[in-house]
Structure 1
């Protein structure tokens, strides 16, 4: 599949944001019995539309290549993410006055990591999740879940069943949909007249400022700013009335939306964010054109660290078999000769090999058995959580390392 035109407005894509070469699908972990087989590598190139300024992959495998019955990402394995979900449920329940008569729906509800807290509060809810194994895990938590992709057609079916919601939420899903107009276009059909939509996603401006090129992977079709999203929302008859800035995923936004005709008053946060993005140059080509060289410099930094460490007979392991880590390692050409293993708490990933890099994934306990000199934190956005959990490496002089925005060895 090749996207020669913008996923939002249809304009031709002519401006490259970042070209990371060929890479496998980030969550296509390799089973040991398949280690002798080849893998599919796809171009990993992000372009920016010079009409509406949506940054997007210029061609990518379809959603079925990512979201299926063997999906390996389970949200509940991150304690910090569960804490984020609990805080969201508490704050939103209070802000919107949600109770037993309300209805809540989450798009891409994964393993019920968030909706479980609405269930505990006695608020009726429904999860929409296309991957069978995470949907099953959600049901085990008592979260009613439908296995489907969301869009205009599925929204119409849900509305015909009587699903109209007071709160529709989507955390880190908006970037994952190939047809963003269809996804957003389904929202008004299931939203009550005064209902609220909240959408969280990593902010493109923070990605650029923090050199977070490793968050570019095939599962992320779009890289989002308020500037690029406003026309998409307007086409669906939705408007943004508030914005919150979050620290998650290297710097994210939470947008509050409603029907155009709803009574929610717009706060000053919306104008403030629009001004910030305008002053940063997100509505012009220069800031995008300069980004690629910063990614190349980060690659050189990691390679220099790895080569110097190995020449000094220092051993390196990594923590967190995250999609962003797979982008980083494949872009840099780092493999099992450089990094011995990657520790991860998710048993679904343990015993498999990273896609492309083919580094084995192990349980965190293995790190304390092998005692490497360095532990490279691939999900740098939760480095504090990782350093707390794995702080025992300091007992033998082990050091933590983060790769983004450039390699840093931590105390």
Structure 2
């Protein structure tokens, strides 16, 4: 499988097990941090880039990026607000309903969420009459949560923060860490923080993208510097144990192209793992992800996606067709930078988040406008960057068919689809 020199790999230490024996996984070049959208003034300034080359630990098999960026710089003011996705808010509501039943929550129960963003999830806890506390490092999105009536602490989760939350609010019947377990370089410390907050008979729920699905569906654009690690269920189980938690159950959920929802409890409870855990671990082993060699081959799949997308955009430009983007997610910036797509091939993109309007995508410097710009310009093609919301966005953009436009989804393979119906068309 692809590897770098021993001298280079030996400078990188596995953040879970401490091994210095790591191999290359896929090399996506060098890109800027994916959520650092540029202002017009910043276009004339230098823009730092960092290698985007995750490795796999030959000892514990955790796929990980070196900690090249400081979370303090990225998350102090954050461009991502979860509530701008209607389907994501609904996903959170359904989760709260199911978790209430699983954990036996009631009016006196405390639910704590680490990386609670703008209160997209805990607002449902509050609406159900339960106590809620968010722990959110980004001041701007935490302020949005408080405006919704969700008590939110501005802090990164650590063992000390977890102990302070427990001291002030009491032990939590449920601790949630959805779509954050990949975002923290100190896996062990973060997990210890989760354990510090949860009651000795409580539950911890962690939702994180599944490496097995990432590889099968070629979701390379979900690799970016904010995602420090990429989990199989096997490596997630090891990470949970590092902080005193034991994996007891797992659900496969469709979010972010395919995620695992890990249910854990304090290790001292001695709760056994469910059959679902055994089944997913067996599926990973069948795919070879219980070995270093089983992680090979992904780089070639990624190259084919790049070649197909760039070829389509060049042929569209040669034919005089207009192409714009929809969405400005972090994953989109990995795709745009790796493929070398700039305004000559993608005139602009649009996003529902007003924070991004008037800014530019990092690295590729593509302008970001409000969604109404598409209606005014009536482009021939709309390249959808948040492909994980395919059903929602295909319905939202049904009116693009009114002028004969089509939608383009680049992953897992290039598809041109009819707005509204989602019927696959000839490119």
Q: Specify the TM-score bucket, using the shorter chain as the normaliser.
A: over 0.9
Change (3 A) 1:270 1:59: same
Deviations 1:284-312 (A, max 9, x none): 12232211111111111111011111000
Report what 1:300 is aligned to: 307
Contact 2:408 2:414 in 1 (8 A): yes
TM-score (norm 2): 0.94
TM-score (norm 1): 0.97
Report what 1:144 is aligned to: 151
Report what 1:109 is aligned to: 116
Report what 1:10 is aligned to: 18
Displacement after TM superposition at 1:265 (Å): 4.7
Matches of residues 3-402 of structure 1 in structure 2 within 5 Å? Answer: 4-69=12-77, 71-262=78-269, 264-402=271-409
Q: Distance in 2 between matches of 1:103 and 1:265?
A: 25
Deviations 1:46-100 (A, max 9, x none): 000011010001342111121013x110000001101100100111112222111
Q: Distance in 1 between matches of 2:270 and 2:103?
A: 13
Displacement after TM superposition at 1:223 (Å): 0.5
Displacement after TM superposition at 1:200 (Å): 0.1
Displacement after TM superposition at 1:38 (Å): 1.8
Q: Give the secondary-structure state (helix, strand or coil) at the position aligned to 1:19.
A: coil
Displacement after TM superposition at 1:387 (Å): 1.2
Q: Give the secondary-structure state (helix, strand or coil) at the position aligned to 1:95.
A: helix
Q: Give the secondary-structure state (helix, strand or coil) at the position aligned to 1:208.
A: helix
Displacement after TM superposition at 1:360 (Å): 0.6
Greater shift, 376-385 or 94-103, is seen at 94-103
Q: Distance in 1 between matches of 2:272 and 2:148?
A: 36
Q: Distance in 1 between matches of 2:239 and 2:20?
A: 17
Displacement after TM superposition at 1:263 (Å): 6.3
Gaps of 5+ in 1: none
Q: Distance in 1 between matches of 2:158 and 2:286?
A: 34
Superposed CA RMSD in Å reads 1.3
Displacement after TM superposition at 1:236 (Å): 2.0
Contact 2:321 2:380 in 1 (8 A): yes
Q: Give the secondary-structure state (helix, strand or coil) at the position aligned to 1:317.
A: strand
Gaps of 5+ in 2: 1-8, 419-427
Structure 1 runs of 4+ with >4 Å offset: none
Contact 1:62 1:178 in 2 (8 A): no
Displacement after TM superposition at 1:162 (Å): 4.5
Q: Distance in 2 between matches of 1:263 and 1:288?
A: 32
Q: Distance in 2 between matches of 1:59 and 1:255?
A: 24
Contact 1:321 1:342 in 2 (8 A): yes
Greater shift, 60-69 or 72-81, is seen at 60-69
